[in-house]
A and B are shown apart, each in its own frame.
Chain A
Amino acid sequence: MRPGRALWDRLALAVAALALWQLASLAFGPHWFSPPLATGRRFVELFWNGELLRHAQYTLLAAAGGFLLGGVPGALIPFALRRAPRLGAVLDPYLVAGYGMPKLALAPLFILWFGIELASKVVLVASIVFFLVFFSTAAGVRGVDLRLVAMARVAGASERAVARHVVWPGAVPYIFAGLRISLPYAIGAAVVGEMISANRGLGYLIQAASQDFDTTNVFVGLLALTVLIVAVNVIVEAAERWLLRWRPVDVTPVRRLASAT
């Protein structure tokens, strides 16, 4: 399949999508489908008066905070558990249950405990990111080639050295995979938290617009969210490529399959 042809196909599809959008707003009315032009205009308006940026900032902050709060322990604990396998075995069913449990259902609980400000969203995001990063990293730590570890020990390496030079590099791709997988979930959780209870953030913007029956703002909010996520993805992909430029293997298929939320 020649690349040029696919590009034209996609342009055609994009144009067709826009046309359908316009058609839908004409057929069903602006209450159901805010017309593309009006949406675009409102988007630019809210962008220039800083409102979009303000909300996006809040959402990003919640996502980033939770990402760090959940991601760091999630990445480090598997290494610690590696040295205490019995403890790991004891904890296993609880961790699996924690992973299987829908953390978003806990949102009201976090709001009760941490209030309607940023903190509750951060905790919500952290609770989701932790489990994703934990299990991904644990898979990496577990999957470390035991022969390499044995070889290192034979060569006289201490436990610390083994951890640093064999286990860590082996697990790093899995850590990154976990972080990448949890990124869309992090933003998604922040947005949902805002929808339930907040006074700022893109989720709040969308929810408030919905309650005001302002379809245009709902569309603008969703559009802004999409742009935000695409932008974050681009940056993270670039960062990862730079950080892991020594690696030949591509992890993208894993991400795409896993992040269908």
Chain B
Amino acid sequence: MIIAGRALLGVVVLALWQAAHLALGAAWIASPIDILGRLAEITASGELLRHTQATLTESAFGFLLGGGAGILLPFGLRLSPRLTAALDPFFAAATGVPKLALAPLLILWFGIGIVSKVAFVAAVVFFFLFFSTLAGVRSIEPQLAAAVRVLGAREWTVTWEIAWHTALPYIFAGLKVALPRAISAAVVGEFIAADRGLGYYINNARAMADTVGLFTGVVLVTLLVLAIDAGLERLQARSLAWRPLARDVGV
């Protein structure tokens, strides 16, 4: 009954959408049919591939760069609890500042090409993964570490075995949040200054009063992000099979 309700709601939304298009005009609302048409068009012309590729490349490289640093740094910090304690208020300040505000600076430094977007994505992703992983590393139970040391493990083993495995659920939580954010960061970066990418396509369409193009781009980005969300969900369930109940850490 509920599923029927959802389907009905979906149909109603589409109908309202079409109605709004007819009522307010094509300049304000593009009709769903036109959007589908444009999708077919840019797929055929290769434009879709070109822009999606650019955005995904920026997201992927930035994600690897920022994610790698964000995951590894807390393990390094673990070796100096004094440094971690001293850095604490700086962390708090850093969380408050929107990393997205760094976009113009990065564009100033690296130009409007792909590099600035990669740097931008890296900056955004870094903070997500850093704080998630840090929380995970901090959650290590000291008695587990002590027990393992008594069994004869050296520091390296303690780090790998305990710190890594304890932090893993937190890292996954961070990844789940950061991956879609990576795409959206790439898109936002492209809004501000770029020469290709889905964000560029969207903003360019707006500048040229191409409402259909604008809507098409937005729909594409949304589908991309939702698909990645679903994929990550599945991946996490498999890798954390050893956990008893709730799969997610409540971040």
Contact = CB atoms under 8 A, between A and B. Distances in A.
Is any CB of A less than 8 Å from a CB of B in the complex? yes
B105 A218 contact: yes
B99 A107 contact: no
A12 B87 CA distance: 11
B105 A222 contact: yes
A258 B100 CA distance: 16
A191 interface: yes
A206 B100 contact: no
A206 B128 contact: no
B17 interface: no
Contact of A105 (B2, B100, B127, B199): B199
A81 interface: no
Interface stretch (A70-78, A109-117, A144-152): A109-117
Interface residues of A, number: 58
A259 interface: yes
Contacts of B251: 257-258
A10 B82 CA distance: 10
Given A102-B183, A184-B96, A210 B131 contact: no
A208 to B, nearest CB: 9
B105 A206 contact: yes
Interface in A198-248: 202-203, 206-207, 209-211, 213, 215, 218-219, 221-222, 225-226, 229-230, 233
A229 B101 CA distance: 12
B169 to A, nearest CB: 13
A86 B5 contact: yes
A256 B183 CA distance: 23
B32 interface: no
The interface residues of chain B, by DSSP majority, are classed as helix
A173 to B, nearest CB: 15
A105 B95 contact: no
The interface residues of chain A, by DSSP majority, are classed as helix
Contact-residue bracket for chain B: 35 or more
Contacts of A36: none
B249 to A, nearest CB: 9
B102 A222 contact: yes
A107 B187 CA distance: 11
Given A112-B214, A260-B131, A261-B124, A209 B104 contact: yes
B98 A191 contact: yes
A105 B132 contact: no
B226 interface: yes
Given A90-B5, A105-B199, A260-B127, A195 B104 contact: yes
Interface in B175-190: 177, 180-181, 183-184, 187-188
A210 B105 contact: yes
Interface stretch (B71-79, B142-150, B155-163, B217-225): B217-225
B85 to A, nearest CB: 5
B109 interface: yes
A191 B97 CA distance: 11
A203 B5 CA distance: 42
B104 A210 contact: yes
Contact of A225 (B9, B97, B199, B229): B97
Contacts of A196: 191-192, 203
Interface in A84-108: 86, 89-91, 93-94, 97, 100-102, 104-108
A102 B108 contact: no
B98 A261 contact: yes
A52 interface: no
Nearest to B24: A113
Contacts of A221: 101
Contacts of B187: 102, 104-105
Given A107-B191, A218-B105, A256 B2 contact: no
B28 A113 contact: yes
Contacts of B23: none
Contacts of A102: 180-181, 183-184, 187, 221-222, 225
9 contacts: A9-B83, A86-B1, A94-B9, A108-B218, A111-B206, A192-B100, A206-B105, A215-B108, A261-B124
Q: Which 7 residue pairs spanning A and B have beta carbons closest together?
A: A188-B98, A102-B184, A210-B104, A9-B86, A90-B5, A108-B206, A229-B96
Interface of B: 1-2, 5-6, 9-10, 13, 28, 81-83, 85-93, 95-105, 107-109, 124, 127-128, 130-132, 135, 177, 180-181, 183-184, 187-188, 191-192, 199, 202-203, 205-206, 211, 214-215, 218, 221-222, 225-226, 229, 251
Given A12-B86, A210-B104, 12 more contacts: A107-B191, A108-B205, A184-B98, A196-B203, A206-B104, A207-B104, A213-B108, A219-B105, A256-B95, A256-B131, A257-B131, A261-B100
